[in-house]
Amino acid sequence: MPTLQPLTVNDRAATPVAHTFTPRGLTAGVAKVSEMGPTPIGERSFTISLREAGTKYKGRLVLSNPVVVNETINGVLVPRVVRVAYASLDLTFDKTSTPQERKDTIGMIADALAPSKVLVNSTFVDLEGIYGA
């Protein structure tokens, strides 16, 4: 069982930047790690959870990626979230699944998100529609 610990992930900038998410808490089986910022309002965060449901294990990973601007109101600089991007991954594994089956499933979904996978990348990054051949 993993302990609540920092999570470091790279973005896709021209020169990739490593983002470190620090533990923020564990509530009702949901762990939260955040990339600390000057104020909590604009922090990126991941939540991760795993629960048993009948004959299945259900996992969920969610990234919240806010964009913050600073506004001056009555001479005071105030941060404000203008939009938030969310990404979620839901996983369901049967209790009889093997570690290799789970490893393969995670590996395939991770690889599908690679920049070279045009179907997925162009749909989500470039916001392009999908058409038939």
Query: What pTM value is reported for the model?
Result: 0.88
What SS3 class is residue 31?
strand
Residue 30: the pLDDT is 96
3-state SS record for 39-107: CHHHCEEEEEEEEEECCEEEEEEEEEEEEEEEEEECCEEEEEEEEEEEEEEEEEEECCCCHHHHHHHHH
Q: How far is CA 42 from CA 9, 82, 83, 108, in A?
A: 18, 10, 10, 31
Residue pLDDT tens, the chain, 133 long: 789 999 999 999 999 999 999 999 999 999 999 999 888 889 999 999 999 999 999 999 999 999 999 999 999 989 999 999 999 999 999 999 999 999 999 999 999 999 999 999 999 999 999 988 7
Q: Which domains does the chain have, with CATH numbers?
A: 7-120 (3.30.380.10)
| DSSP label of 19 | E
Q: Whole-angstrom Cα distance, residue 69 to residue 16?
A: 23
Q: Which amino acid is at 74?
A: N
